[in-house]
Structure 1
Amino acid sequence: MTDLRFQINDKAIERLPPPENGRYIVRDTELKGFFLVVGARKKTFTIQGDLRGEGKRAATVRVAIGDTSEMSTRAARAVAKEYLAQISRGQHPKGGGRISKATTAAALEAPVVPNIVGITLRAAWERYKISMVRKKRSERTIESYRDHIERIFAGWLDTPLTELGNDPAKVAAKHDAITEENGPYIANGSMRTLRAVYNHARKTNRELPADNPVGSIDWNGETRRDTGMGLADLKGWFLELAAIDNPIRREFHLFTLLSACRPAALKEAKVSHIDLRRRVLHVPKPKGGAERAFDIPLSRQMIMCLMRAIRFGRLMHPIEAREWIFPADSADGHLAEQKEDRKTLSKWGNDLRQTFRTIATPAGVSELDARMLMNHSIPGVNAGYITRHKLLEDHLRTQQQAVSTTIFNALREATSKDEKLVAWLALGATRRTIRRAKDEFAKREVTAPAHKLP
């Protein structure tokens, strides 16, 4: 069969027919020297390049990267780039030595083995990223790892992991530098990511030192942030929240407090996730991925909050509101950034999760129930015997209602006397606000500017 030439990708590989006899080659049009060898039983990613020594071409080297059944095209392409870069520097990818005299191609060609010698941080990250997708890690988790590798360790992307493994002092110094420039939490988090990528790379690269170089660092001390509010702080916070002009953002922060849902998951909440018959909001992709999906039981106040968000969304973003509970004018169509100026709103995000957990105690909610409401893991051997959804319909909703009632009781008479809170939370306030907005819009006089003729 005649050799083919096109941009190699996973879908195209699946459609390739077996050869009638022997084998044939598919050359990649995107990366020169990268191609696929298609045989009767398997398809192998391969690279080929010219080794040069003393200014002359020493030999043409062909090296197999791996079987298509074992790795994706994306991962193979990353490894191919690394191999070709080594060959351009006069180094054999499987030998590591620099060519000093002419050698035959047969002597230099390496056997087909899955191990990747001299793998760089960039190539190791590409392979680790594939493994995270296969394990169904959430997009937010993958993005967090990507930020660490491609931003914090940008200067190390083309550094061989062997170099880092043999020089742990270099890694320790990097940790110190990150701590100074980005802070202790980012420094520790980025090093955990580097540790994970290194450990994964060593599974297929046994030449890497067994001791992970991240073990050489002195970890920064980490303490849980104590930023939650007590009952006495809620009135002031509600007044700050009522002053926010955007009603959708206002409801988003309130629901974060009432539900203790992580903001990243709540931003992606859809109208279709609400089940009013069962009075729950389904969270399909919380922290930990789809395997940790759960339902949030809804109190009366939480349902009213969601209904206000939906009504305001239909008015402000009618197209996006068909899908999202908290729509916005963003690329994804939903709220993209929940952060507020601390001078405008003193507490948001995880501050409100801590507040929920703090208020759960005076509300009479047990430690176990609070953990289940917040979708936290339950410690102890007995955790495996608890069936959460059996408690959801009755018991957990009662506990959720207790927290919401305690929060609103802390406001006392403010919800009926303060003008801002009345305009926001009073019965019929949303309907009056929307009607007023429509009337004001109808009264506007739209005049087109006069165009002067040339």
Structure 2
Amino acid sequence: MRFQLSDKVIERLISPERGRYIVRDTELKGFFLVVGPRKKTFTVQGDLREEGKRASTVRVAIGDTSEMSTRAARSVAKEYLAQISRGQHPKAGEKTTKATSAAHIPASEAPRSVGITLRQSWERYKIAITRKGRSDRTIESYRDHIERIFAEWLDVPLIDLGNNPAKVAAKHDAITTANGPYIANGCMRTLRAVYNHARKTNRELPADNPVGSIDWNGEKRRNTGMGLADLKAWFIELAAIDNPIRREFHLFTLLSACRPAALKEAKPSHIDWRRRVLHVPKPKGGADRAFDIPLSRQMINCLIRALRFGQLMHPRQATKWIFPADSADGHMVEQKEDRGTLSKWGNELRQTFRNVATSAGVSELDARMLMNHSIPGVNAGYITRHKLLEDHLRQQQQAISSTIFGVLGDTIVQEAMVAAWLSAGATRRIVALAKDEFLRREVTTDCPLHRTG
């Protein structure tokens, strides 16, 4: 029988009670399926030649249909047939089935896997993405995938993975079980990129990327942002947080939709008070996607509070960072809060910003520019973002901030903790009380003139 082999076609093939039969592929000559009572095996057959004459015909099993997809098997078949055409037995030294008798190829003459390894491929790819200006966080994520998740493959020749896509598919399944579906997909995307880059200079690698053999895990966009009705309760939760710097960090994340990783590294020098913008030099995507965040009145007040609290709590670190902390880097490194203390933080606040933008009447295009998202369509190249920044985008930013604070209503006055944080003159009072407490503690604990006994 002859069919264009596919997973669906193979599913419909009936296994015989006894014996076996062959189904040949109409797309790739020499590639076929052996159907037996218990299994269906992908196989290739070709002629080994010496000095232009046929020396023997060999038949080589690729794998069971229960272990690999048809697409992966066809990729391996192409490589096996190419080796046979060059006079090389794909599995020299192993037990193989031959269609006709032929001289045995000594194991000592078996071709050994050589060529660039995964480690070497990664080092070259790392240089390439560094030149393209990829952010340090992106490169670190790739490094973690290759050097930690694929640690046992680092010194494996890349051609071994290219010739054995079933091995890659099995690894994807193992990572899914051990680390979760999202990490498994992310690791495979990194491996796919490294392989494609390596093949530019190593043409012996199979053209079909072995990552093509995997069955991707389903990924759903997280939808955990808040609506307007949820904001009042969230503000009350946020007001109860003891650390005022962290409090302002979460509020600014909501008001700006800035990614937390970039916001942690914000510096006072990045603020242009005259133009009312905060510059983000290294957002997601690297320095090439640097942009300015237009500041609403509420965002400016938030930054002023953060700077004052920082100068009081961490005076040395506050000279360099807007959100300083007692860390090795000198700034906040972890934005996570206990869910029982603060129900929403991080990227959930970016999603909330997008929800509020719709309620505030901000267009899809303006919201994408405020969040530094790419703009789809052919017209994207004709939009000059910085020309819209000084007036139009700032107006849209102000509309979003006003909508957020408008939800609070009388809560700023009636709720004690929110009033102590956001009411008129609250910052001055907090800073003054903190200074008094600091001085009182310093006098009673450190000054020998005030010690008793």
TM-score interval, smaller chain: 0.7 to 0.9
Match of 1:267 in 2: 264
Distance 2:144 2:232 in 1: 38
Match of 1:375 in 2: 372
CA displacement at 1:441 relative to structure 2: 2.0
Contact 1:327–1:333 (Cα < 8 Å) also in 2: yes
Q: Equivalent of 2:283, from 282, 286, 293?
A: 286
Match of 2:80 in 1: none
Q: Equivalent of 1:409, from 397, 406, 411?
A: 406
Contact 2:252–2:302 (Cα < 8 Å) also in 1: yes
1:446 aligns to what SS in structure 2? helix
Change (3 A) 1:448 1:390: closer
The CA RMSD measured in Å over matched residues stands at: 1.8
- Letter aligned with residue 439 of structure 2: A
CA displacement at 1:368 relative to structure 2: 0.8
Change (3 A) 1:301 1:99: same
Contact 1:117–1:205 (Cα < 8 Å) also in 2: no
1:261 aligns to what SS in structure 2? coil
CA displacement at 1:448 relative to structure 2: 8.7
Distance 2:343 2:121 in 1: 41
Contact 2:114–2:157 (Cα < 8 Å) also in 1: no
1:440 and 2:449 aligned:
no
Q: Equivalent of 1:351, from 329, 348, 352?
A: 348
User: How do residues 78-89 of structure 1 correspond to structure 2 at under 5 angstroms?
Assistant: none
Unaligned residue ranges in structure 1 (runs of 5+): 1-97, 102-115, 450-454
1:314 and 2:311 aligned:
yes
Match of 2:237 in 1: 240
Higher Cα radius of gyration = 2
Match of 2:222 in 1: 225
Distance 1:152 1:100 in 2: 34
Change (3 A) 1:447 1:301: closer
Equivalent pairs counted in the alignment come to: 338
2:292 aligns to what SS in structure 1? strand
CA displacement at 1:180 relative to structure 2: 1.1
1:295 aligns to what SS in structure 2? strand
1:331 aligns to what SS in structure 2? coil
Match of 2:138 in 1: 141
Unaligned residue ranges in structure 2 (runs of 5+): 1-105, 449-453
Match of 2:178 in 1: 181
Q: Equivalent of 1:155, from 139, 149, 152?
A: 152
- Letter aligned with residue 251 of structure 1: E
Distance 1:317 1:306 in 2: 15
TM-score, normalising length: structure 1: 0.72
TM-score, normalising length: structure 2: 0.72
CA displacement at 1:416 relative to structure 2: 1.1
CA displacement at 1:99 relative to structure 2: 12
Contact 2:291–2:372 (Cα < 8 Å) also in 1: yes
Distance 2:401 2:114 in 1: 58
Change (3 A) 1:159 1:117: closer
Match of 2:193 in 1: 196
Match of 2:99 in 1: none
CA displacement at 1:100 relative to structure 2: 7.6
Match of 1:118 in 2: 115
User: How do residues 361-372 of structure 1 correspond to structure 2 at under 5 angstroms?
Assistant: 361-372=358-369
